[in-house]
A and B are shown apart, each in its own frame.
Chain A
Amino acid sequence: MLIAGAAIFFYAPTDYLQGPVQRIFYLHVSSAIAAFGCFAVVLVGGVIYLRNESPAADRFARSGALVGVVFTTVTLVMGMLWAKTVWGAFWVWDARLTSTLVLWIIYAGYLLVRRLADPGRQAARFAAVVGIFGFIDVPVVHFSVTWWTTQHPGPVIINDALPPQMLATFLFTMACTVVLAAVMIAIRYRIETLVDEREQVFEPAKVLVAREPEPVQ
């Protein structure tokens, strides 16, 4: 990440129109892509959990949701600071910004459900459903700039609109950010495993057997 930071500030050229503030783009977009990857982990974990009630899949989903919310927060805040300079306002209610905020709310809600509900199979099942349906918003966020007229800039990577030095810096930053997200999920997964073991969340339910009352003498 340090090398990526050096590339962003010293290797990538300054944008002619936007000036230095355009450099926000590198971590802003990379964080958004990392967040999408994290929410894909929630989707896959949720589907696997609903199929075979695997505690490991549920832990992966929980980990992906938390890390995804962190990356979405970074995306939103960095985007707002870029917008203030370029648009003159921190926030406009266009399709890209609104759908990203909705994405953040969905997965923050997912985490809230996990925190407030009693840990166990029922909470895991309900959260899996929220995680799966929540992922519908990911393609909405991605395609929002092509489906609707937005103030947010359209895709620049697939339209080949970046000069080679900017593209190289972006791809390197994106690779580093995705690896960082994977490391964060792995650490979180280990934390969730230790917490589950401590609280014995997925222990089989104890069957209470009624005993014969002892005769009164």
Chain B
Amino acid sequence: MTYLILAYAFGVAALGGYLFWSLRRLRELERIQGGRS
């Protein structure tokens, strides 16, 4: 049971973390782009 919870905790952290990081990076770049134009 511990390994099942660990496995899904890792899966959610990796996929969710990557998605969150991507959205943050995208927002940051769009803000920079918006500031330049």
Q: Chain A residue with minimal CB distance to B13?
A: A74
When each residue 185-198 of chain A gets 1 if its CB lies under 8 Å from chain B and 0 otherwise, what string results? 00110110011011
Of residues 1 through 37 on chain B, the ones whose CB sits less than 8 Å from some CB of chain A are 1, 3-4, 6-8, 10-11, 14-15, 18-19, 22-23, 25-26, 29-30, 32-33
- Chain B proximity mask over A51-71: 1 for CB below 8 Å, otherwise 0: 000000000000000010011
Contact among B10, B23, B29 with A195 in the assembled complex (CB-CB below 8 Å): B29
CB distance from A88 to the nearest CB of B (A): 12
Q: Would B29 and A78 count as touching, CB distance under 8 A?
A: no
B1 smallest CB distance to A (angstroms): 6
A162: CB under 8 A from chain B?
no
Contact residues in A for B29 (Cβ distance below 8 Å): 191, 194-195, 198
Does A21 have its Cβ within 8 Å of any Cβ on chain B?
yes
Determine which of A23, A73, A191, A197 lies in contact with B14 in the assembled complex, contact meaning CB atoms within 8 Å.
A73
A81 near B6 (CB under 8 angstroms)? Answer: yes
For the side of the interface on A, what is the size category?
A: 20 to 34
SS of B interface (majority): helix
B7 pairs with A24, CB closer than 8 A: yes
A residues within 8 A CB of B14?
Answer: 70, 73-74, 77
Cβ contacts under 8 Å, A123 to chain B = none
Closest to A197 in B: B33
Among A71, A74, A84, A184, contact of B22 (Cβ-Cβ < 8 Å): A184
Flag if A77 contacts B10 (CB, 8 Å). yes
**Contact with B10, one of A74, A85, A184 (Cβ below 8 angstroms):** A74
Residues of B within 8 A of A (CB): 1, 3-4, 6-8, 10-11, 14-15, 18-19, 22-23, 25-26, 29-30, 32-33
Please list 25 pairs of residues, one from A and one from B, whose beta carbons are closer than 8 Å in the complex, sorted by A's number: A20-B4, A21-B1, A24-B3, A27-B7, A27-B8, A27-B11, A31-B11, A71-B15, A74-B10, A74-B14, A77-B11, A78-B7, A78-B10, A78-B11, A81-B6, A183-B19, A184-B19, A187-B22, A188-B22, A191-B22, A194-B30, A195-B29, A198-B29, A198-B32, A198-B33
Known pairs A21-B1, A198-B33 / 12 extra A-B pairs, C-beta < 8 Å: A24-B3, A27-B8, A27-B11, A70-B18, A74-B11, A81-B10, A184-B22, A187-B23, A188-B22, A191-B25, A194-B30, A194-B33
